């Protein structure tokens, strides 16, 4: 199944790279939330291949939602993570594919066609980048850490914007990055490029593959309070494990200030 997921991710990635920088059709799912004809073409390819090889499996994908099939197996797909980047010609985007069995993530594949980087993981078998094992960083001081995050599409209207957390982490980490592709952010934690990542208002297809890749690379994944992670809940911290507790403390600063009326 991992080999199949790799082939599918590469095939979908080829669609993204072939169309990148060309004229694309763009529509809006919200004020700033885009979908392109390339998202739809990539998802259609992935769904068709899964239907051909595993016709009894469920598919949950960003653009098409959850199919009607009921199965113990569920593929969780983001056909183009980083659509806004893609639409603007910014080369940070990927295909993300995960497979669940009875609610447990069995495998994760994230493919970045711009750099031809393939991140993979199987439960209990470790994580890899282009088939070479990867591990999280060994940075133990939050102040020496490079962190990444993102902002929700409803940032202009929502109560939870992540701007308060950004401000707090800016004062407590070495530097912050916001690249606009959560799946890649988590993979960068897994291979040690980032020491930690946090974000809110994400969906299962944003996190399922990346979370497994982080864990299999020796990292830790949780919610903002340090409780058990679920990609069906909208918040995540992914880290090398060494800075996880300090990250939780920084995230708690915003709630503390709210309670104090500050």
Q: Which residue has the higher pLDDT, 66 or 216?
A: 216
> What is the structure's pLDDT at 175?
98
Is residue 245 predicted with pLDDT exceeding 80? yes
pLDDT, residue 34, reads 64
- Indicate if the pLDDT at residue 261 is higher than 50: no
Architecture of the structural domain at 2-133? 2-Layer Sandwich (3.30)
The DSSP annotation for the chain comes to -HHHHHHHHHHHHHHHHHHTTS---EEESSSS-EEEHHHHHHHHHHHHHHHHH-TTSEEEETTTEE-S---SEEEEEEEEETHHHHHHT-S--EEEEEEEETTEEEEEEEEETTTTEEEEEETTS-EEETTEE--------GGG-EEE----TTTTT-S--SHHHHHHHHTTSSEEE--S-HHHHHHHHHTTS-SEEEEES--HHHHHHHHHHHHHTT-EEE-TTSPBP-TTSSEEEEE-STTHHHHHHHHHHHHHHHHTT-
- Comparing 5-9, 73-77, 257-261, which segment has the lowest mean pLDDT? 257-261
Fold of 142-259: D-Maltodextrin-Binding Protein; domain 2 (3.40.190)
The pTM (predicted TM-score) of the whole model is 0.92
Q: What is the tens place of the pLDDT at every residue in 2-19? A: 999 999 999 999 999 999
Where do the domains of the chain lie? Answer: 2-133, 142-259
| Mean pLDDT score across all residues of the chain | 92
* Each residue's pLDDT tens digit, 149-207: 999 877 777 777 899 999 999 999 999 999 999 999 999 999 999 999 999 999 999 99
């Amino acid at each position: 199944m991992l080999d199949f997921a790799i082939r599918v991710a590469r095939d979908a990635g080829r669609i993204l790279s072939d169309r990148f920088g060309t004229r694309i059709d763009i529509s809006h799912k919200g004020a700033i939330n885009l979908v392109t004809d390339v998202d739809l073409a990539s998802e259609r390819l992935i769904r068709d291949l899964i239907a051909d090889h595993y016709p009894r499996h469920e598919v949950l994908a960003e653009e098409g939602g959850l199919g009607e099939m009921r199965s113990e197996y569920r593929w969780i797909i983001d056909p183009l993570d980083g659509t806004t980047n893609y639409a603007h010609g910014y080369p940070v985007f990927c295909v993300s594919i995960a497979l669940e069995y009875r609610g447990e993530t069995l495998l994760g594949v994230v493919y970045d066609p711009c750099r031809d980087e393939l991140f993979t993981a199987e439960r209990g078998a470790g994580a890899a980048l282009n088939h070479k094992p990867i591990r999280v960083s060994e940075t133990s001081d939050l102040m020496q850490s490079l962190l990444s995050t993102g902002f929700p599409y409803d940032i202009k209207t929502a109560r939870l914007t992540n701007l308060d957390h950004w401000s707090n982490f800016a004062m407590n980490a070495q530097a912050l990055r916001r690249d606009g592709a959560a799946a890649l952010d988590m993979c960068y934690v897994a291979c040690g490029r980032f020491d930690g990542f946090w974000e809110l208002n994400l969906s299962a297809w944003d996190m399922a593959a990346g979370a497994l890749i982080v864990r299999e690379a020796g990292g830790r994944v949780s919610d903002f309070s340090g409780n058990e992670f679920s990609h069906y809940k909208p918040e995540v911290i992914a880290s090398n494990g060494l800075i996880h507790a300090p990250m939780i403390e920084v995230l708690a600063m915003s709630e503390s200030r709210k309670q104090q009326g500050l």
